[in-house]
Amino acid sequence: MESLNGFKRSDFCGLVKSSHIGKTLSVCGWVQRRRDLGQLLFIDLRDRTGILQLAFDDATARDVFEKALSVRSEYVLAVTGVLRERSSKNKDLPTGDVELEVSSLRILAVSETPPFEITENSDVNDTLRLKYRYLDLRRPDMQRAIALRHKVVKIARDYFDENGFYEIETPILTKSTPEGARDYLVPSRVHPGKFYALPQSPQQYKQLLMLSGFDRYFQIARCFRDEDLRADRQPEFTQIDLEMSFVDTDDVIAVNEGFLKKVFKDVLGVEIKTPLLRLPYSEAMARFGSDKPDLRFGLELCDISDLVKNCGFKVFKDPVEQGGSVRCIVVPGGADAFPRKQIDALVEFVKTYGAKGLAWTRLGKDGTSSSFAKFLTDDENNSIIARSGAKTGDLILVVADSRDKTVFAALGALRCECAKRLSLLNKGDYRLLWVTEFPMFDYSEEEGRYVAMHHPFTAPLDADIGKIESDKKSCRAKAYDIILNGTELGGGSIRISTPDMQETMFRALGLTHEDTHARFGHLLEAFKYGAPPHGGLAFGLDRLVMLLTGAESVRDVIAFPKVQNASELMTSAPDVVDKKQLDELFLEHKQKSED
- 248 sits near RNA (criterion: CB under 7 A): no
| From 114-122, 255-263, 272-280, 396-404, span contacting RNA (CB under 7 A) | 114-122
Q: What does the alpha-carbon distance between residue 89 and residue 94 come to, in Å, rounded to a whole number?
A: 10
Query: Among 3, 5, 19, 113, which residue sits at the site for RNA (rule: CB under 7 A)?
Result: 113
End-to-end distance of the chain based on CA atoms, in angstroms? 61
x/- letters, 455..484, toward RNA (CB under 7 A): xx----------------------------
Q: Please list every residue from 128 through 157 that binds RNA, using CB under 7 A.
A: 128
Which of residues 5, 92, 365, 576 is near RNA by CB under 7 A? Answer: 92
Burial (CB count <10 Å: 0-12, 13-18, 19+), residue 33: middle
Which of 72, 194, 420, 522 is in the footprint of RNA by CB under 7 A?
72
Site for RNA in 337-376 (CB under 7 A): 352-354
User: Which CB sits closer to RNA, 180 or 393?
Assistant: 180
- Residues 556 and 558: their CA atoms lie apart, in Å, by 6
The least CB distance from residue 177 to RNA, in Å, is 7
Q: Of 34-42, 142-150, 185-193, 247-255, which segment contacts RNA by CB under 7 A?
A: 34-42
225 binds RNA (CB under 7 A): yes
C-beta closer to RNA: residue 101 or 266:
101
Q: At residue 82, what is the residue type?
A: V
Residues 379-438 that bind RNA (CB under 7 A): 409, 413
- Count CA within 13 A, CB hemisphere, residue 379: 5
Residue 121 touches RNA, criterion: CB under 7 A:
no
The answer to whether 309 contacts RNA (rule: CB under 7 A) is: no
Q: What angle do CA 529, 535, 536 make, to 5 degrees?
A: 130
Q: Which is nearer to RNA, 319 or 456 (CB)?
A: 456
- Lay out the site mask for RNA across 547-576 (x = CB under 7 A, - = otherwise): ------x-x-------xxx-x-x-------
DSSP 3-state of 456:
coil
Residues in contact with 439: Cβ distance below 8 Å, sequence separation at least 6, in sequence order: 281, 453, 473, 474, 475, 476, 477
Pairing mode, if any, of strands 479-484 and 449-452? unpaired
CB of 8 to RNA, least distance (A): 26
Among 49, 80, 203, 381, which residue sits at the site for RNA (rule: CB under 7 A)? 203
Phi then psi for residue 319, to 5 deg, are: -55, -40
Residues 6+ apart with CB under 8 A from 386: none
Using CB under 7 A, pick the residue from 55, 315, 396, 545 that binds RNA: 55
CB of 227 to RNA, least distance (A): 4
Cα–Cα distances in angstroms (integers) from residue 218 to residues 168, 262, 267, 479, 538, in the given order: 7, 17, 21, 19, 9
